[in-house]
Amino acid sequence: MNAIRTRSLHKTFRTGFWMRPVEAVKNVDLDVKSGEIFGFIGPNGAGKTTTIKVLTGLVLPTSGEAWVNEIAVSDPNSRANLGFLPEGTFFHDYLDAREFLDFHGSLLGVPRELRRERIPKLLERVGLTAAADRQIRRYSKGMRQRVGLAQALIGDPQIVILDEPMSGLDPLGRKDIRDVILSLRDEGKTVFFSSHILEDAEVICDQVAIILTGRIVKQGYLDELLGQELVGTELVVESISEALYSELQHRASRAIVQGNRFLFEFAGESDGEKALDRVRASGGRVRSFVPKRRSLEDLLLEGLQEEKRT
């Protein structure tokens, strides 16, 4: 069953004094399976937020159709079991986290006793227990993201849509949010999130769709899109001579000096293995030798090249 589905979704805005049309979303088809994590990937301005605004009923599509829980997004009932974290979290500054979550829970019709039970658990889940009594105006951007995520979960929705949930977070904060997203999938919930941070999507997603200039250029399960084929190797070594460094630098696609260490990237597996043999033969110390497979970054670059050709 599809939790989210779109067909030929198109959205055009008119901007400027002359009201010229701008195509933000162009014939987007999405199929998000229930109980999966779906990453909606693309650079800023690609059409991610516009698509999400259509799914959440904030804007109407120019043409095409979209469904949430198999209900057309034009029907308010499509949002009955939906949690949403928008991009750019601007909340009620003079409420503390408990008051904020209680207010939004009441808007959703969550009974008072159930709100009292859920709020402490949500605050603990997003790492805000210690800051629960602090006014939101005193929160950092990362803390606002966390309380915004708690707000998206206060109604215990089956589908959660998150627009750039890792934005403004430090590496530890991003890991915490990734862990929450993974736990939601473990509970059988569907998570649809947009991001331009490719590493996060590659770690946790079941499926991804890459959107560029309003069009979907790649979509599918990660293991199918990335495959198992090696695209290169990375070699990190120490204690090599200047002459050997120069030799390997000419063979490598990239060479970086990291203090006493030297990092080399090779386009082919055989080139990396030959370099590894040379380092060992010279008495150098090998710190790591890592085969590299395709990544989401490679897919995004391929999509950009295809866009330029069309």
Which pLDDT belongs to residue 98? Answer: 96
Tell me the backbone φ, ψ of residue 165, rounded to 5 degrees: -70, -20
Q: Tokens 């009201």, residue?
A: 19
User: pLDDT tens-digit profile of 195-206?
Assistant: 888 888 888 999
224, 208 in Cβ contact below 8 A? no
**For residue 57, is pLDDT > 80?**
yes
Return the CATH fold of 2-226.
Rossmann fold (3.40.50)
Whether the pLDDT of residue 226 is over 90: the answer is no
Beta bridge partners of 15: 20
Mean pLDDT value across residues 74-100: 91
Q: b/e per residue, 113-142, with b = 16+ CB within 10 A?
A: eebeebbeebbebbbbeebbeeebeebeeb
Q: Please provide the average confidence, as pLDDT, over all residues in the chain.
A: 90
Of the candidates 210, 163, 193, 160, the one whose C-alpha atom is nearest the C-alpha of residue 46 is 210
Q: How far is the C-alpha of 39 from the C-alpha of 33, rounded, in Å? A: 12
Q: What is the pTM of this model?
A: 0.85
CATH architecture designation of domain 230-293: 2-Layer Sandwich (3.30)
pLDDT given at position 310: 63
H/E element holding 236? strand 230-238
Q: List pLDDT tens digits, range 106-154.
A: 999 999 999 999 999 999 999 999 999 999 999 988 899 999 999 999 9
pLDDT (0 to 100) of residue 228 = 64
Q: What is the pLDDT, as a whole number, of residue 200? A: 83
**Three-class secondary structure of residue 2 per DSSP:** strand
Q: What residues does 163 pair with on adjacent strands?
A: 194
Do residues 58 and 212 touch, judged by C-beta distance below 8 A? no
User: What's the rounded mean pLDDT across residues 45-69?
Assistant: 94
Q: Give the rounded percent of residues in the chain with a pLDDT score beyond 70.
A: 98
Cβ proximity of 190 and 38 under 8 Å:
yes
The domain limits of the chain are 2-226, 230-293
Question: Residue 65 is encoded by which pair of tokens?
Answer: 């159709």
Half-sphere exposure (Cβ direction) of 236: Cα atoms closer than 13 Å? 8
Tell me the mean pLDDT in the region 21-35. 94
Total count of residues recorded for the chain: 310
Specify the pLDDT at position 74: 93
